[in-house]
Amino acid sequence: MEVDDSECVLRPSVCLCVLCGLPAAGKSTLGRAICSLAAQRGWRSAVIPYDDLIPDQAFQPRLLEEHTEWKSHRQSVLKCIEQFLKNPQVLTESQINSAAWERCIQGLLEPVDSLDRSQTHQTPLLLLLDDNFYYPSMRYEVYQFARKYSLGYCQVYLQCPVESCVSRNQSRPTPVPTEVIQEMVKRLESPNPQKNPWERNSIELDTTDTLSKCDIQRMMELISSALSSPLSPVEDNTEQKEADRLKCATSLVHQADQACRRLISEAMKSAREHQVAPEHMRSMAAQLNESKTRFLHNLRTQFLQELLVSQDEDIDVEHVVKTAVNVFDQDKKDILMRIINA
């Protein structure tokens, strides 16, 4: 989503809290409870329900993430938040339900009007984004937005058995089709900080039964932490650099592996021409493959270490492969000569 950086976003400390989980897992109920506690702390807060803001027709193929119309509407919700942070009184985004949006922010406008500018900037603002967010990419989009504007960011995953969700859903005025919930179970990827470091500010709550005071306290502590530790738009790109390093190393090792296979094939051909005995041929093949495995492992390890040192310098992978494979070639020749002279 393109954002005009030339416009200054004037705001108090802000936290975007993503509520994710299956339909009827209890996100809306939790959101209302947190808003009540937030008010007691003097925070302004609001629940942003995607289902109310996005037109029904955009949800027809709702399990197809690549569906462009649905993705466009999801981005429109973030644009609404962006516009609110810049000017709460203005809404120019046309893809969302404007009446629903006005209901969302109605409670946020009153405190702003009653405080002077200095007081407004001292009043924390909490926006609870209520959606299934079953793909990490959906959550990452919000994370990127929060980082761009130095907002606090956190995630709360509501874990609830599908049977309970289906049962609760049936009692709703407009229930989600059961097959949609069952299909979403297959696709839902809960927050995974080990796989996605940007999801580290996440907790999981079991909503099978009524949430305990301890659960609510955990969530309030998570939000408080996010408010006091906003993301930085100039964070280092460690994650991307690591991905690029691994990609480069994988490419290097793949090319080296192909070159080594050709050298082994040449060695086997040469051994047959020297009429090496079958048992010695098998021994040589085992030695060469063992040498190749060891060589590729060492090459990958050494190359990754060198990439750390070289940082942003351009790496001539082809040259590195050629130089490294010369080492294996010499080892190959030594093994071949030992077998032929045995």
pLDDT of residue 182: 87
2 located within any domain: no
Regarding whether 216 and 185 lie in a shared domain, the answer is: yes
- State the chain's mean pLDDT as an integer: 82
Q: Which residue from 156, 146, 20, 6 is spatially nearest to 81, judged by alpha carbons?
A: 146
Give backbone dihedrals phi and psi of 45, rounded to 5 degrees, phi first. Answer: -150, 160
pLDDT of residue 122: 66
53 located within any domain: yes
Tokens 């705001």 belong to: 11
165 located within any domain: yes
Regarding whether 171 and 194 lie in a shared domain, the answer is: yes
% pLDDT > 70, the chain? 81
Domain-terminating residue out of 166, 200, 228: 228
Cα(185)–Cα(161) distance, rounded to whole angstroms? Answer: 10
Task: Say whether pLDDT at 149 is over 70.
Answer: yes
Q: 133 with 7: CB under 8 angstroms?
A: no
Q: What angle do CA 254, 260, 266 make, to 5 degrees?
A: 145
Residues 6+ away with beta carbon under 8 Å from 95: 55, 72, 73, 76
8 located within any domain: no
pLDDT tens sequence across 17-57: 999 999 999 999 999 999 999 999 989 999 999 988 886 65
- The mean per-residue pLDDT over the stretch 190-204 comes to 92
DSSP 153: E
Regarding whether 180 and 61 lie in a shared domain, the answer is: yes
- Structure confidence at residue 117 as a pLDDT band (50, 70, 90): very low
**Both tokens assigned to 130:** 């209520």
6 located within any domain: no
Residue scoring higher pLDDT (63 or 214): 214
Helix (H, G, I), strand (E, B) or coil at 86: helix
CATH code of 131's domain: 3.40.50.300
Task: Say whether pLDDT at 104 is over 60.
Answer: yes
Residue 17: its H or E element? strand 14-20
* Burial (Cβ within 10 Å: 0-12, 13-18, ≥19) of residue 316: exposed
Regarding whether 207 and 332 lie in a shared domain, the answer is: no
- Structure confidence at residue 65 as a pLDDT band (50, 70, 90): very low
Regarding whether 246 and 160 lie in a shared domain, the answer is: no
Q: What angle do CA 109, 113, 119 make, to 5 degrees?
A: 105
Provide the greatest CA pair distance for the chain: 96
3 located within any domain: no
Cα(282)–Cα(284) distance, rounded to whole angstroms? Answer: 5
Task: Say whether pLDDT at 281 is over 60.
Answer: yes
- Structure confidence at residue 235 as a pLDDT band (50, 70, 90): low
Q: 176 with 132: CB under 8 angstroms?
A: no
Residue scoring higher pLDDT (268 or 308): 268
Q: How many domains does the chain have?
A: 2
Regarding whether 301 and 179 lie in a shared domain, the answer is: no
Regarding whether 176 and 95 lie in a shared domain, the answer is: yes
pLDDT tens sequence across 285-336: 999 999 999 888 888 877 776 665 555 456 677 778 888 888 899 999 999 9
Domain-terminating residue out of 203, 228, 253: 228
Regarding whether 82 and 183 lie in a shared domain, the answer is: yes
DSSP string computed for 94-149? -SS-HHHHHHHHHHHHHHHHHS-HHHHTTS-EEEEEES---SHHHHHHHHHHHHHT
Residue 202: its H or E element? strand 202-206
**47 beta partners:** 128
141 located within any domain: yes
- Structure confidence at residue 93 as a pLDDT band (50, 70, 90): low
pLDDT of residue 56: 60
Regarding whether 117 and 66 lie in a shared domain, the answer is: yes
CA distances to 24, 41, 135 from 20, rounded to whole Å, are 11, 24, 10
Regarding whether 96 and 33 lie in a shared domain, the answer is: yes
Residue scoring higher pLDDT (8 or 50): 50
- The count of other CB atoms within 10 Å of the CB of residue 166 is 18
Q: 226 with 17: CB under 8 angstroms?
A: yes
pLDDT of residue 186: 84
Question: Which of 21-25, 64-68, 82-86, 184-188 has the largest mean confidence?
Answer: 21-25
Domain-terminating residue out of 228, 257, 284: 228
In the chain, DSSP finds a helix count (H) and a strand count (E) of 12, 5
**115 beta partners:** none
Question: Which of 52-61, 62-71, 94-103, 264-273 has the largest mean confidence?
Answer: 264-273
Tokens 């530790």 belong to: 229
Cα(174)–Cα(56) distance, rounded to whole angstroms? Answer: 12
Cα 14 to chain centroid, rounded? 21
Domain that includes residue 73, residue range = 14-228
63 located within any domain: yes
pLDDT of residue 61: 43
Regarding whether 62 and 18 lie in a shared domain, the answer is: yes
Regarding whether 132 and 38 lie in a shared domain, the answer is: yes
Task: Say whether pLDDT at 215 is over 60.
Answer: yes
Instruction: Tell me the pTM.
Output: 0.62
